[in-house]
Structure 1
Amino acid sequence: MGPFDRGILVLYTVTLTLLFLALGAFLGGWSDPVQRLWSEVNTPGYREILWVLLVVYIIMGLRLLWRGLKPERKRQAVVHEGGLGQVRVSLTAIESLAEKVTAAVPGIKEVKAKVESSPRGIALHLKLITVPDINIPAVSEDIQCEVKDSIKNVVGIAVSEVRVAVESFKASKPRVE
């Protein structure tokens, strides 16, 4: 739930709480202040405002209902279902594994991985920063095989696709001693 929806929820909750407190006061015998407030609000100048507020609160209530019933997208992948239950590995952990495997390849300076679920397994998108003097097609093919094999061996999930995108080149600086 985002900040907009949380703000709506706070406003909606405070308003409903105040309305129910007024109803409780009315049912508890304190009808004079509640009737005086109602007669003040029920004047012809305030009726239009009450209709607008009613529509706004109905829309807010419907939005909160929709957000409450809408299933949230989970970033997990089911690996194995056994007699004792499910084993789950988060997609963030798979991204981390792919980044570690890719960073170990010579010539790779930086890597950022993104994992997406697909019906045939998972798809990985790797964004790389490399040194300028490597053979990119050969290194990319090595990275694709390494990442696919590592994730299959460690996590047990089939990798359907590994996309490699070289975003930039970074020259390695010689060490000064």
Structure 2
Amino acid sequence: MGPFDRGILAIYTFTLTLLFLALAAYLAGWPEPVQELWQEMQLPGQEEITWALLGVYVLMGVRLLWSGFKGERKKQAIVHEGNLGQVRVSLPAVESLSEKVVSAVQGVKEVRARVEAVPQGIAVNLRIVTTPDINIPRVAEDMQRQVKESIYDIVGISVHEVRVTVESFFARKPRVE
């Protein structure tokens, strides 16, 4: 949740707290102050302001609900401590490196990588589109080995697991002219 959403949440929570305090006062037997406030809001010429505030608060509620349910991917980084300080490598950078390594493999037409941090290092999930004329188990094993070695050589972190999923086969026939 960003600073904008936190500000909306603070205003929304403060206002709802005041509203529920007024409701509690009304239910506790102090109806005069609440009724006076309600009558003040119903004066002619202030209905537009009341409707506008109501609309703003509904929009704020929808925004907070959406913000709460959207899947926000944490921007993680791999950290190495060296003699001169920290070195951070973002997970999207490792994803990009994995895609570059796999795209160089013969028979792979498309690749999407997803990297996640695990206690033993990182796990790499590869989704590939390949030609149908290759040996999938052999090529997948080569990909796994190459990705693991490249990440360790370049980034310096051990790869715990490399999962390969073949999503489809690329079988476009050449055009005859």
Instruction: Please indicate the TM-score interval, normalised by the length of the shorter structure.
Output: 0.5 to 0.7
Q: How does 1:35-50 map to 2 (within 5 A)?
A: 42-44=33-35, 46=37
Letter in 2 for 1:128: I
Contact 2:95 2:114 in 1 (8 A): yes
Contact 1:131 1:172 in 2 (8 A): no
- Which runs of no fewer than 5 residues in structure 2 stay unpaired? 16-31, 39-60
1:84–1:98 CA distance, 2 compared to 1 (3 A): same
How does the TM-score come out when normalised to structure 2? 0.62
CA distance in 1, matches of 2:78, 2:87: 9
Letter in 2 for 1:42: P
Which residue pairs with 1:123 in the alignment?
Answer: 123
CA shift for structure 1 position 84:
2.0
1:161–1:175 CA distance, 2 compared to 1 (3 A): same
Which residue pairs with 1:98 in the alignment?
Answer: 98
1:43–1:103 CA distance, 2 compared to 1 (3 A): closer
Letter in 2 for 1:113: A
Q: How does 1:1-177 map to 2 (within 5 A)?
A: 1=1, 5=5, 8-9=8-9, 11-12=11-12, 42-44=33-35, 46=37, 73-78=74-79, 80-174=80-174
Identity of aligned residues (%): 61
Contact 2:132 2:170 in 1 (8 A): yes
CA distance in 1, matches of 2:168, 2:3: 35
Letter in 1 for 2:78: A
Superposed CA RMSD:
3.5
1:98–1:176 CA distance, 2 compared to 1 (3 A): farther
CA distance in 1, matches of 2:88, 2:12: 37
SS in 2 for 1:116: strand
Hey, which bits of structure 1, 4+ residues long, moved more than 6 A?
none
1:87–1:11 CA distance, 2 compared to 1 (3 A): same
CA shift for structure 1 position 82:
1.9
1:125–1:43 CA distance, 2 compared to 1 (3 A): closer
